[in-house]
Amino acid sequence: MTTTSAGAAAPATTKPPAVRTTAAAERSTRTRAGRGLQHGGWFVAPFLLLFLLFVIVPVLRGVWLSFTDANISGDGARFVGLDNYSEALQDPLVWDSLGHSAYFTLLVVPCIVLVALLLALLAHHIEHAKWLWRLCFFAPFLLPSTVVGNMWRWMFNPDTGLLDHVFGMESAWLTEKDTAMTAVVVATLWWTVGFSFLLYLAALQNIPQHLYEAAALDGANAWHRTVHITLPMLRSITGLVVALQILASLQVFDQVVVMYEFGPGPEESTRTMVQYTLEQGFTSYRVGYASAISILFFLMIAVIALGRMWLLRKREEGVQ
């Protein structure tokens, strides 16, 4: 054991080579990460600026307006506190509109999930002209909402429409309360099923083929392979499709107002939450009240989205 004299200075402690190498590697990694963040920030900056100007600022402006009695001109807004929220919670038309949006969601979401899955299975197993079938199933999703709304309004016309005049379905689809929302569901299903079809088709192509081969060797027929392999492997994508469709269906607006020429439908049976909010803001000129309704609607949708994320996390933790 080496000792030093009392007057001599103790030698400086030196780190082992392995520690020095690790520290240098960490410093190099941090330097590269800092440089990447510095250069990458310039690419993200335009999006962040636009997101701030057209999303964050309008949202904050809407929250402020919801506490005022502002009109459409924005002049002379007076702070009223929670009066708009209290009125919205007691407004029967708010609850009716929310009920129409929920009813539409309950009708269209199961139909889209089922039809999209069947179309994806069909397109996945077709041997010839696969690209043509996939294009036909997905093409309606590319059409604008105004085109879809006007096209289906013509098809549901009781005098010259395709469904009544050609196929003999004698029903006033757009003028009767019992069939008004069903007509919107049919148009929406034809229009939007292509997006969910594409998600299912991509998920089907990612299922390992050896699972089907092993099941076939064990004697499983096509039905058993679908029930015990395909559907369980599509469970996660089904949850995603359901969540996306619920959030989109609750915000239904475009096709409804086009098909009913910006009206609430027969006996106000197709007035949705978004439509009622716009009526209050741009017809009744009550911007503050419309902002309060939109904030309440946003909070409800946020709760649904967060609830879905919580359930998904719990399921993943249970699997692990």
Model pLDDT for residues 178-232, shown as the tens digit of each residue: 889 999 999 999 999 999 999 999 999 999 999 988 988 888 888 999 999 999 9
CA 70 – CA 78 distance, rounded (Å): 7
CA 156 – CA 171 distance, rounded (Å): 9
Task: Give the pLDDT score at 33.
Answer: 53
16-25, 70-79, 187-196: which is most confident: 187-196
Say if CB 251 and CB 301 are below 8 A apart. Answer: yes
| 131-137 average pLDDT score | 90
The token pair that represents 211 in the structure block? 């699972």
Task: Give the pLDDT score at 21.
Answer: 56
- Taken in order of first residue, the domains within the chain and their CATH numbers are 83-319 (1.10.3720.10)
CA distances from 66 to 83, 87, 93, 291 (A): 9, 12, 18, 5
Fill in the amino acid letter for 58.
P
Say if CB 156 and CB 174 are below 8 A apart. Answer: yes
